[in-house]
Chains A and B, each alone.
Chain A
Amino acid sequence: MADGEIPKLDDPLQVPCLKPGAMDGLQPFLASPEHNAKLGFPGELLPDWKERALAKMEELASKNRAFQVYLDICVKCGACTDKCHYFLGTADPKNMPVARQDLLRSVYRRYFTFAGKYFPWLVGARDLTEEVLKEWYSYYHQCSECRRCSVYCPYGIDTAEITMAAREILASVGMGQKYANEIIGKVHDVGNNLGLNPKALRATLEDLEEDIEDDTGVSVRLPLDEKGADILLITPSADFFAEPHIDGLIGYAKVFHQAGVSWTLSSYASEAANFGLFIGNYENMRLVSQRIRKAALDLGVKRIIFGECGHAWRVAYSYLNTLAGPWDFLDPNYPVPQHILEFTWGEIQKGYLKFDKSQNDHMTLTYHDSCNVARGSRMGDTPGGQFEIPRNVIKAVCNNYVDMDRDTIHESTVCCGGGGGLLTDDLMDLRVKGASPRMTALQQVSESDGVTHMAAICAICKTQFSKVMPKYGYDMDSIVSVHQLVSNAIILDGQETDDADAAEAEE
């Protein structure tokens, strides 16, 4: 297993020869009994785990059409086998999407299908044993639920649905994952993944206000818990402290300021991320989402806007109406929720924002489509807006922009390697390997077009890249927030600039 090697690919999507067992036994830490119990799961593996696991599998098949249909209809055509970034990076055959599904499908067949009950050898059905359970725990935590495989499957089979169900089954027998479960616990307790309390949050925001004023000479506010504001901004808590996330937060604040809208953050719902998605648990995902509803009601806002976060935007765009709607108390003139890029792009189109693009001239940029935004959501009114709007904004604030290999962007984008609840140090080897397709695509445009920086709109992508990019020969600050670029270029009213003339000339 885990040899710590950094894969060298000639091409971002180069298919490796199979290395069976390459990632055998790799597994993230198990959650402690208290953390499992807090989310409504058994604390640890129970004596009757097998019956519980099978009962859970049956329950999920009856509650989720995708799970039931996808377990039945895979024909093993092989279309997905070379589509997973973890397979490309590790060569472990169990990281091929269909093989990953089969770890669970083989058990489903054994207990729930005619062929598997009476002719298990014929259809690859197998008994559920403790070894199988451990194998599930290992390989269902080597999937980032990025859905790249589902793009290429002739039936749209989405391995993420199987992974989520598998994690749900594991949690239901007391095998929750430490990283995800601890974080969800913190959200339930404090309101964000970091456990940042309102006081600390307020202090952080005040510091940022000072920084912006020092920088620009303009007083830009980052309001917290302001009743009666028009817009509630829900953003990943990483935006409050991590680099380059925080530069993105400054960008949102500047855009709101310049657009002249009233907005606020909420200390109660101070988190866009929703790790309930990662563990596949509807109830936890719903509870986390309900915090946003309560905050919107308590603060009396008219609109909700989400900051840069990939899976959060999937949950927000695709699920928020289901989990925490209906939103009939908000202003019907705006979609609920909106993405910050939809807002910023709208203001740019209206001509309300002025930029000095040369402020980003020290960089040549490319853009990493985050998986959950690309394949699990949309922006704007037309399909594919999630690809166009971020690029439009980047091009509006930067002079030098280049796309990566066509097969690694848009709906074909390759995951950063840290999504889906895998952004934890105990999986670092997997994260580095899983990043290799993206890193290879980046290296190509660095060589051909001199790309120096990559922009992203996902907190997980940003953290993951700032960790793994140094291993591929880049500085950790080669990953930037899209609103960091906006922040660099935007000219606030009354801002003291050296080259105000240059900006005017550009208008």
Chain B
Amino acid sequence: MLSTIYALLFYAATILFVVGLARRIRKYARTPAPLKIPTTPAPITRGGVVLRMLREVLFFESLFKSNKWIWLFGWTFHMALWLILARHIRYFTADTPLWLGLIQPFGKYAGFAMVAGLAGLWARRVLVDRIRYISNPSDHLILVLLIAIGLSGLTMKFVAHTDILAVKAFMRGLFVLQINPLPTDPLIHIHLALVVLLMIIFPISKLLHAPGVFFSPTRNQVDNPREKRHLAPWAAKLEG
């Protein structure tokens, strides 16, 4: 029964996540940027913009310029999250490819780094008066959600193992519309429920920063306004 509920939850969450995100991305992509507004100095070639964006999303360059503490906690959390997500692929694939085996030792412990980073961010949100001022309940709760996902996962990895083969069978079953039983221990239920919640809120919350950053005109525009005329479709109509 519980397995069926979780299976349905995963299907629903996946649809909401994928459709919600796709609609948002389509909106960003279709909304024109009427003017050239890169924050200068900016790259003067498309290739330069790709590098700028890579530095931004891989190293959080601007955040590094801004505040070393936020950078340290934020970068640690995000990079650990990527490792953990990659490591989790093994729960969806029939056999484990070599690269997954190679990252496994790091991915295993990345959970600690992720929770530490999140704890640092939350501490700042509570302790620094400026950041406390700009925080809404949702800003705290998203951190709580991520920390809870991390802690429940870590507990299963290092304290109370769940039947991971059963979990894998459940996950792989979802791909072929087959509901296999989940283990009965509460930790895995909590962990999965929180992940489902995260997927659902992703397209309707500030988590949209993940796709959104790629559409930020101050970061993704080439600095070439004198060489190339930039004109939005709605602005072209004014020329009549």
Q: Which residues on A are within 8 Å of B, measured CB to CB?
A: 15, 17-18, 61-66, 68-70, 72-83, 93, 96, 98-99, 102, 113-115, 121-124, 147, 150-158, 161, 282-283, 286, 317-322, 325-326, 335-337, 374-378, 382-384, 386-387, 411
**CA distance in complex: A83, B63 (Å):** 12
Indicate with 1 or 0, residue by residue over B114-137, a CB within 8 angstroms of chain A CB atoms: 000000010011001111011111
**CA distance in complex: A152, B128 (Å):** 18
Q: List 9 A-B contacts (CB under 8 A).
A: A72-B208, A78-B125, A147-B218, A154-B62, A161-B37, A322-B35, A322-B230, A322-B235, A326-B229
Query: Are A322 and B204 neighbours in the complex by a CB distance under 8 Å?
Result: no
Collect the chain A residues with CB atoms within 8 Å of residue B234's CB: 63
* Distance (whole angstroms) from the CB of A330 to the closest CB of chain B: 11
Query: Are A96 and B36 neighbours in the complex by a CB distance under 8 Å?
Result: no
Pick the most buried of A72, A113, A283, A337: most chain B CB atoms within 10 A of its CB.
A72
Query: Are B209 and A66 neighbours in the complex by a CB distance under 8 Å?
Result: no
Query: Are B35 and A319 neighbours in the complex by a CB distance under 8 Å?
Result: yes
**CA distance in complex: A154, B56 (Å):** 7
Collect the chain B residues with CB atoms within 8 Å of residue A383's CB: 40-44, 223
Known: A121-B137, A321-B226. A155 touches B219 (CB 8 A): yes
20 new A-B pairs (CB below 8 Å) besides A64-B32, A286-B238, A376-B39?
Answer: A65-B32, A73-B213, A73-B216, A77-B63, A78-B67, A81-B130, A93-B133, A99-B133, A102-B134, A122-B136, A124-B137, A147-B218, A152-B65, A152-B66, A156-B56, A156-B62, A318-B35, A321-B230, A337-B226, A411-B40
Query: Are A321 and B225 neighbours in the complex by a CB distance under 8 Å?
Result: yes
* Distance (whole angstroms) from the CB of B82 to the closest CB of chain A: 16
**CA distance in complex: A374, B229 (Å):** 21
Pick the most buried of B141, B205, B225, B228: most chain A CB atoms within 10 A of its CB.
B225
- What residue of chain B has the Cβ atom nearest to residue A283's Cβ? B238
Q: Which residues on B are within 8 Å of A, measured CB to CB?
A: 24, 27-28, 31-37, 39-44, 56, 60, 62-63, 65-67, 70, 74, 121, 124-125, 128-131, 133-139, 141, 204-206, 208-209, 212-213, 215-219, 223, 225-232, 234-235, 238
Known: A65-B32, A152-B62. A76 touches B136 (CB 8 A): yes
- What residue of chain A has the Cβ atom nearest to residue B201's Cβ? A115
Query: Are B218 and A156 neighbours in the complex by a CB distance under 8 Å?
Result: yes
Collect the chain B residues with CB atoms within 8 Å of residue A81's CB: 130-131, 134
- Which 6 A-B pairs give the minimum distances between C-beta atoms? A73-B212, A383-B41, A156-B218, A152-B66, A124-B136, A78-B131
Collect the chain B residues with CB atoms within 8 Å of residue A322's CB: 34-36, 225, 229-231, 235
- What residue of chain A has the Cβ atom nearest to residue B53's Cβ? A156
Choice from A76, A152, A156, A335 contacting B135 with Cβ under 8 Å: A76
Query: Are B66 and A79 neighbours in the complex by a CB distance under 8 Å?
Result: yes
**CA distance in complex: A384, B206 (Å):** 33
Query: Are B138 and A115 neighbours in the complex by a CB distance under 8 Å?
Result: yes
Query: Are A76 and B225 neighbours in the complex by a CB distance under 8 Å?
Result: no
Query: Are A153 and B28 neighbours in the complex by a CB distance under 8 Å?
Result: no
Summed over the interface, the residue pairs from A and B with CB atoms below 8 Å come to a total of: 210
Query: Are B204 and A113 neighbours in the complex by a CB distance under 8 Å?
Result: yes
- What residue of chain A has the Cβ atom nearest to residue B136's Cβ? A124
**Interface of chain B, main secondary structure:** helix
Query: Are A68 and B28 neighbours in the complex by a CB distance under 8 Å?
Result: yes
Query: Are A376 and B37 neighbours in the complex by a CB distance under 8 Å?
Result: yes
- What residue of chain A has the Cβ atom nearest to residue B216's Cβ? A156
Query: Are B131 and A76 neighbours in the complex by a CB distance under 8 Å?
Result: yes
Choice from A69, A122, A282 contacting B138 with Cβ under 8 Å: A122
Collect the chain A residues with CB atoms within 8 Å of residue B230's CB: 321-322
Collect the chain A residues with CB atoms within 8 Å of residue B62's CB: 79, 151-154, 156
**CA distance in complex: A359, B217 (Å):** 45
Choice from B31, B138, B226 contacting A65 with Cβ under 8 Å: B31
Collect the chain A residues with CB atoms within 8 Å of residue B43's CB: 383
Query: Are A72 and B212 neighbours in the complex by a CB distance under 8 Å?
Result: yes
Collect the chain A residues with CB atoms within 8 Å of residue B35's CB: 282, 318-319, 322
Query: Are B70 and A78 neighbours in the complex by a CB distance under 8 Å?
Result: yes
Collect the chain B residues with CB atoms within 8 Å of residue A124's CB: 136-138
Collect the chain B residues with CB atoms within 8 Å of residue A286's CB: 235, 238
**CA distance in complex: A470, B132 (Å):** 37
**CA distance in complex: A74, B213 (Å):** 10
Query: Are A155 and B209 neighbours in the complex by a CB distance under 8 Å?
Result: yes
Query: Are A98 and B204 neighbours in the complex by a CB distance under 8 Å?
Result: no
Collect the chain B residues with CB atoms within 8 Å of residue A320's CB: 225
Known: A77-B70, A79-B67. A69 touches B40 (CB 8 A): no
Query: Are A62 and B31 neighbours in the complex by a CB distance under 8 Å?
Result: yes
**CA distance in complex: A336, B133 (Å):** 45
- What residue of chain B has the Cβ atom nearest to residue A78's Cβ? B131
Collect the chain A residues with CB atoms within 8 Å of residue B34's CB: 63-64, 282, 322
**CA distance in complex: A79, B36 (Å):** 24
Known: A64-B33, A68-B28, A96-B133. A78 touches B40 (CB 8 A): no
Collect the chain A residues with CB atoms within 8 Å of residue B204's CB: 113-115
**CA distance in complex: A69, B134 (Å):** 19
**CA distance in complex: A62, B31 (Å):** 6
Known: A79-B66, A113-B204, A115-B138. A384 touches B41 (CB 8 A): yes
**CA distance in complex: A40, B64 (Å):** 44
* Distance (whole angstroms) from the CB of B202 to the closest CB of chain A: 12
Collect the chain B residues with CB atoms within 8 Å of residue A282's CB: 34-35, 235
Known: A74-B206, A319-B225. A386 touches B63 (CB 8 A): no
Query: Are B218 and A73 neighbours in the complex by a CB distance under 8 Å?
Result: no
* Distance (whole angstroms) from the CB of B79 to the closest CB of chain A: 14
Collect the chain A residues with CB atoms within 8 Å of residue B63's CB: 77, 79, 152, 154
Query: Are A150 and B67 neighbours in the complex by a CB distance under 8 Å?
Result: no
